[in-house]
Structure 1
Amino acid sequence: MQYFYTVRTGDRLSKIAEQHNVLLANLIAANRIQNPDQLAAGEQLSIPASMHNYIVQSGDSVYQLAEKFGVSIATIAEENQLLSPYLLKVGQRLRIPPGVPYYTVQEGDTLEVIARRFNVRTKGITKISLIQELNQLATTAIKTGMRLKIPYAPIGESGFIAYTSRLEGGPDIWLYDVESGVNKRLTTDIGGSYSKPIWSMDSSKIAFVGKNQIIYIIYLESGLIGAIDQLAEGGDFTLNWSPDNETLAYTARGKIILYNTRTHESQQVNQPGASNVNWFPNGKELLFQAVDREGVHQLYRSSLTGTDREQITKNTEGPLHEVQLSKDGKYVLYTTPGVSISLIDVVEVASGKTFEVKGGPEAKNYFPTWASDSKQFAYSSTELKGQQYRSQIRTVRFDGKNDQIQALSNCYSTPVTWSPKHERIAYLSGCGEEYASEMWAVDIEKKFLVKLIDDNQIDALQWSPSAIADFTTAEFTSDVYEVNFQYPLGWRKVNEERYEGDDGFFQVSAISGSDNLEEVCQAEANQELLPYGSKPTILSSENPEVESCLILPSDDQPTDMKNQAAFIVKYPMPITIKDTTYNYFILWADKKHIKEISSTVMFLP
């Protein structure tokens, strides 16, 4: 959900951006501003930023903080459960929203106008239905003065972001569907505080180090999870997939281990003290860190048998961290020397030439991650702003040139991950005392920010390397109703028309009706027994080539209906079932899954 700030007399866009911990370019993109120098008092701006985690200073009052951040006293009081007279203590931590969680409709506004202005769009298509659904609007009609919640729309690309979450116990591995915005839990109570999901290059498997330092592999197509080894506490937890997506490399018991996930056999490579193992793209060589004869940490390459060892670096300092080979195998990056001071170097593998990355203002540069083009990488750089730390999401060329800040996070540091075509970077924000509560993505070219996940507890994330099919779904095909669609994996067949799971259901049928789709949808939604409640919302398709509607229940829907919603779509040509002709297909499903399932409906040829 987006937050809105009302422009005050004397405000400048740059001042508003700095006040709310957001880059000016991101603020301009969020509001599609054509002329940054033209601001009108009373204008409402979407603020793509996290909550301020403010520490109360001597002399602070709720009134002063409300003035400083441009929000109401009531907003601060409600967010922090403060009671009148709102007394504060020095050192007290307050969560201050970047604005109010609604947009006030202005004269001349329509849902289409609002959705376009605030980027409620997926794959370039304006999604007014998302605004309707969030606000439970039965129609698209709105009035001046209405307060509307404005959502962030899903990006709409095929693929997933795997992340570690503590939301429901855990920590465990979850998947965020970039196309639909749906989250799905993959593991239950086997994660650890150090768990980082690592995708195979074909995006069919995820490896991670879980509870008790056990290495697990998730086979996404089958849903199976296998435990393959156990590492020493406090050891090297680097995991790296082979280019053919079959073999996982890691270090254990003083050796490099190559575990084949197809044959379930392992090979040991004798490289004493090795760590940070990476595969070269030829699949025949490994890169790793080990000490030289003087006890100094260096990077080496060798064959899979451990022979033909060749030193790459000429390091004279301490250990190297976050070692990562570029996708083409030409460059390797790492951070050094430690945590309080963390600098990034890039080494050309063939020549040993080193490029130093200047980095951020505090020399605290973390989580460097290569883009798939091997020409650039992203990283998080810590910055002290006032009395609080924040992190800059930066991109830079392999040679240290063209270092740019793409976005800001209110976390001290954050892992970063690239989309498959290196158009976007996802990162964490919304940090409180322990964990990040939000996941964001920034469009590198357009500078537009999208909040992907909110109200969570996230430690790590990684975008799937390739645009993949949804391995969390199964396929339903009916020759009777002449349809095919995807539904959540694990749901059980009740009969030919109905499937159920622990978290939802679907049922299919066909109906006859007039050629007027609106009449058919109204008739289904407003039945005498009110199966969708007294005020259901009807959303018409935003695709002009498809005649369909969604029916979403109102809050007073009878509980025995199990949150039933409906999707009605007109057949290209009427079908006949047992001598009866039908011109509409109808899908019933729970409200949580109706949009996800209906978006995959296809008629059989």
Structure 2
Amino acid sequence: MQLFYTVRAGDSLFQIAKRWELPVETIISANQLTPPYTIYIGQQLSIPPGVNMIRVNQGDTVFKLSQFFGVPQSVIIAENQLQDPYIIEVGQLLKIPPGILFYIVQRGDTLYQLASRFNVKTRKRNRPDLIKHVNKLQSNVISPGMRLQIPYAPPGDKGLIAYTAFSEGRFDIKLYNPGDGSNVKLTNGLADNFSLPYWSNDSKKIAFVGKDKILYVINLDKKDIARIDQFTEELGVHLDWSPDSHMLVYIKDQYIIIYDVTTHQVERINQPGASDAEWFPSGEELLFQAPDLAGISQLFRIRSDGTGKQQLTRNTEGRYNNVRLSPDGTFVLYTTPGASISIIHTIELSTGRLIEIKGGPLAKNYFPEWSPDSQNIAYSATAFEDKGYFSLVRSTGRSGENDRTLAISNCFATPVTWSTDGRKISYLSGCDDQGNASEIWVVDINNPVPIQLVKGTQITALQWSSLHNSHLSKTYVNNLLKVQFNYPVDWVKVNEERYEGTDGFFQLSAITGNLTIDEVCHKEAFHQLMPYGTQPEIKKVNIQKQDACLIVPSQDQSAEMKEQSALIIKYPIPIQIDGNNYQFFIMWADRAHIEELGATLTFL
């Protein structure tokens, strides 16, 4: 649930942000504030997670801290389980939450307005139904003085997040669907606390090293799990999928191993001291780190058959760690020199140009990951060691430009992963005293509002799939309506014309009449029952060289419609059903899938 701070006399956005070490833009985005970003006394602001720990100084009391931070004494007492008479000691670490767990309804507020103001949205659509549900309201009517919890909504992004989680006494690989907020467990006790999920490029397979140091591959389409290999050490095993998603490359026993998961053939390239083997985009060459003849860490490339080895660097300093090739194959990033101090560098392969990323304040920069377009790097930077350690979730350009903090995790360091479209970064937080994370969050790099996705279980790793999670691999054929198209493999048949899944649906029909395509589209979009809201958008499109339109619902569409959109296409030749002619085909589907479904549609 979101936390709310009430503005006091003398407050400014900068002051409020500074108390919890937050970037000002996160508070602006979390509250949909507009220029000149004026705030007023009594205004309730949603405050994203920040540095919520302070070290007690001489003269501090619970009352003085309450006054300084603008948080009720009762909240500080409860968060720190203080006992009457609430004595605190110099040097003691105290939690100071940035607010209270509810919003107090003001005159003129509506559930819809609150959802809009505080980013309770899925695919940019307001979700007042979630506020209603979490507060167990019987109707949409709210009144001044009511205390409402404001939840986070599934963001609606494409792809799936695979993560390693501990529950029921064992570790497993699970999937979170940002489209609808659902979670699915893929394994039964096969993972371990060191397991890192690695998505194949077609997003149909996940590889990981699990229990007993066994390398597993999960095939999501076939719903099976294969044992591939076994290691003597569980830590430091880096896996990388080939561009065609058929082969895995990794290091084992001084060899670069190339394993074809389709044919189960294995190629071995002898390379003592090698690490971090990765595929170039061609699928014909590999990048890896290894010592040169003088024992100094260098980067090399080699053909997948073991020929054509080339040294790419002339390093004279420390070891290259966490070597990652950019998706376009033009840059390499690495960290050096080690764990206690970790600085990110990039190398432009065509010129050899070396760039040092400024990074966080303590030079503890971990888990760097390339964005899908190879232009940016996300990473975790440890900070605030005097307050018990937190990590800054940051992004930077590949040449070190625009290096900035987007969000704050309360973990010493957190793995990060980019969304399918490269607009968001997901990370871990909710760490306990032992450093175990229990939450997954996501932040938009252009609208930095941290959104909580998962909470309540120990989580050690995560990775976002590179493609849409639907895997349009099944073909739907309707001989009556004379159409066929591809649809998500996990959707199930409701009846001949309707299929549904956890993240969407489609339903089909045909329309008769002597109207033009524009008239049919307008009539459907502005039906008297307003199935698409009060202001739907009609987009002219072309499907199979036929005139068509896409009807996109407006923000005020009823939640019960499940983001229903419509695609109407003029038949090349009218079809006949029970002796009647039908000139138009219509598909209703959720907004996230309708264009994807329509793109594969053909007439029979």
TM-score scaled by structure 1? 0.78
Asked if residue 484 in structure 1 is aligned to residue 499 in structure 2, the reply is: yes
Shift of 1:257: 0.9
Paired residue secondary structure (2:430): strand
The letter of the residue matching 1:337 is P
Moved more, 418-427 or 464-473: 464-473
Which moved further from structure 2: 124-133 or 233-242?
Answer: 233-242
Structure 1 gaps, min length 5: 489-514, 518-540, 551-594
Task: Write the letter of the residue equivalent to 1:210.
Answer: G
Deviations along 1:180-218, one digit per CA (max 9) or x if unpaired, are 112222223222222111111111111111122221111
Instruction: Give the deviation of 1:55 after TM superposition.
Output: 5.4
Amino acid at match of 2:446: E
User: For residues 282-341 of structure 1, what are the alpha-carbon distances to aligned partners after superposition, in whole Å with 9 as ceiling and x for unaligned?
Assistant: 011111111111011111000112111100111112221110000011111100111122
Task: Give how far 1:447 is off.
Answer: 2.4
Quick check: 1:23–1:408 contact (8 Å CA) kept in 2?
Answer: no
- Cα separation, partners in 2 of 1:342 and 1:543, compared to 1, 3 Å: closer
Structure-2 residue corresponding to 1:414? 414
Q: For residues 176 and 220 of structure 1, what CA distance do their matches in structure 2 show? A: 14
User: Matched residues in 1 for 2:265 and 2:259: separation?
Assistant: 6
Counterpart Cα distance in 2 of 1:201 and 1:547 = 34
**Matched residues in 1 for 2:41 and 2:289: separation?**
58
Q: What is the CA–CA distance in structure 2 between the aligned matches of 1:34 and 1:189, rounded to whole Å?
A: 49
- Verify the 8 A CA contact 2:470 2:490 in the aligned structure 1: no
1:542 Cα deviation after fit: 8.8
How much does 1:88 deviate? 4.2
The one-letter code sitting in structure 2 at the alignment partner of 1:454 is K
1:453 alignment counterpart: 454
CA contact (8 A) 1:104 1:145 kept: yes
Deviation string, structure 1 residues 47-106 (Cα, Å, up to 9, x no partner): 111572455566554334433433222223333444433344666655443211110000
For the residues of structure 2 that align with 1:235 and 1:81, how far apart are their CA atoms? 37
The residue number in structure 2 matching 1:465 is 466
CA distance in 1, matches of 2:291, 2:359: 27
1:250 counterpart letter in structure 2: Y
Are the counterparts in 2 of residues 414 and 427 from structure 1 also a CA contact under 8 Å?
yes
**Partner SS for 1:333:** strand
**Higher mean C-alpha displacement, 443-452 vs 291-300:** 443-452
Q: Within the alignment, does 1:475 sit opposite 2:491 as a pair?
A: yes
Amino acid at match of 2:238: T
Indicate the RMSD between aligned Cα atoms, in angstroms: 3.4
**What one-letter code is carried by the residue in structure 1 that aligns with 2:465?**
S
Aligned twin of 1:537: none
One-letter code aligned to 1:153:
A
Tell me the equivalent position of 1:249.
249
Aligned counterparts of 2:130 and 2:455: Cα–Cα separation in 1: 16
1:441 corresponds in structure 2 to 442
Name 1:194's counterpart in structure 2: 194
Distance between the aligned counterparts of 1:402 and 1:548, measured in 2? Answer: 42
Mapped partners of 1:449, 1:30: distance in 2: 8
Q: 1:12 to 1:294 in 2, by over 3 A?
A: same
Match of 2:133 in 1: 133
Q: After superposition, give the CA deviation of every residue in 1:150-174 in whole Å (9 maximum; x if it has no partner).
A: 1112111221111122244333222
The residue correspondences of 1:389-400 to structure 2 (distance < 5 A) are 389-400=389-400
| Separation in structure 1 between the aligned mates of residue 94 and residue 286 of structure 2, nearest angstrom | 49
- In 2, the alpha carbon distance for the partners of 1:431 and 1:201 equals 31
Name the count of aligned residue pairs. 514
SS of match in other structure, 1:456: strand
Check 1:203–1:14 CA distance in 2 against 1; reply closer, same or farther (3 A cut).
same
Percent identity of paired positions between Structure 1 and Structure 2: 45
Q: Can you give the 5+ residue segments of structure 2 that lack an aligned partner in the other structure?
A: 473-487, 504-527, 531-552, 563-589, 598-602
Task: Call closer, same or farther: CA 1:547–1:122 in 2, change over 3 Å.
Answer: closer
Give the secondary structure class of the aligned counterpart of 1:457. Answer: strand
Do the aligned partners of 2:129 and 2:559 also contact (CA within 8 Å) in 1?
no
Amino acid at match of 1:159: G
Aligned-pair distance for 1:145? Answer: 0.2
Q: What's 2:547 paired with?
A: none
Instruction: For residues 241-300 of structure 1, give each alpha carbon's deviation from its aligned partner in whole angstroms, at most 9, with x where no partner exists.
Output: 000001111111111111111112222122222111000110111111111110111110
Deviation at 1:347, TM superposition (A): 1.4
CA distance in 2, matches of 1:547, 1:302: 54
2:10 matches 1:10? yes
Which residue of structure 1 aligns with residue 292 of structure 2?
A: 292
Distance, in Å, in 1 between the alignment partners of 2:129 and 2:84 is 39
In structure 2, C-alpha distance between the alignment counterparts of 1:215 and 1:66, rounded to whole Å:
52
Query: Secondary structure, in 3 states, of the residue corresponding to 1:113?
Result: helix
Indicate the residue corresponding to 1:116 in structure 2. Answer: 116
Change (3 A) 1:313 1:334: same
Q: 1:78 to 1:235 in 2, by over 3 A?
A: closer
**After the TM superposition, which residues 212-223 of structure 1 pair with which residues of structure 2 at under 5 Å, given as runs?**
212-223=212-223
Question: In structure 1, what residue type is equivalent to 2:495?
Answer: D
Q: 1:364 to 1:478 in 2, by over 3 A?
A: closer
Q: Which segment is superposed worse, 389-398 or 75-84? A: 75-84
The 5 Å alignment of 1:421-432 reads 421-432=421-432
* 8 Å Cα contact 2:172/2:188 also seen in 1: yes
Aligned pairs for 1:84-483 (under 5 A) are: 84-88=84-88, 94-233=94-233, 236-384=236-384, 386-433=386-433, 434-469=435-470, 474-479=490-495, 483=498
Q: Deviations over 1:133-153 (max 9, x none)?
A: 111111110010000111112
Q: Which moved more, 1:354-363 or 1:252-261?
A: 354-363
Indicate conservation of the 8 Å contact 1:337/1:343, yes or no: yes
Q: State the alpha-carbon separation in 2 of the partners of residues 302 and 121 from structure 1.
A: 47
3-state SS of paired residue (1:454) = strand
CA distance change for structure 1 residues 80 and 403 in 2, over 3 Å: closer, same or farther?
closer
Check 1:487–1:442 CA distance in 2 against 1; reply closer, same or farther (3 A cut): closer
In the TM superposition, residue 234 of structure 1 has moved relative to its aligned partner by 5.8
1:130 is paired with a residue of what secondary structure? helix
